[in-house]
Amino acid sequence: MAALTWLLIPLFAAVGAAIWASWAARNRTTGDTAELAGYSRFREAMEKSHSGTEPA
C-alpha cells in the first residue's frame, strides 16, 4: 500500500501541473476592448486644442 501512495504523489503533481498550465495559458484578451476604447478617448481629448488663453 505504501508503494501505491508513492506512485500517486507524482500523478497528483502531474494533474496539478496540467491544471495550472491550462489556467496560465488562457486567453486574456476579452476585457481589453473597453480599456483600449477608454484610452483612445483620453488620447483624443488630450490632443484637442484648448479654447481659452494660453499660459504665460
Q: What is the pLDDT of residues 5-34, one digit of tens each?
A: 999 999 999 999 999 999 999 877 666 777
Place of cell 505504501: 2
| Cα–Cα distance measured from residue 41 to residue 23, given in angstroms and rounded to the nearest whole number | 32
More confident residue, 36 or 11: 11
More confident residue, 27 or 37: 37
| Cα–Cα distance measured from residue 51 to residue 9, given in angstroms and rounded to the nearest whole number | 70
What is the number of residues in the chain?
56
Assigned C-alpha cell, 51: 479654447
Count CB neighbours of 50 within 10 A: 7
Amino acid of residue 13: A
| Cα–Cα distance measured from residue 9 to residue 4, given in angstroms and rounded to the nearest whole number | 9
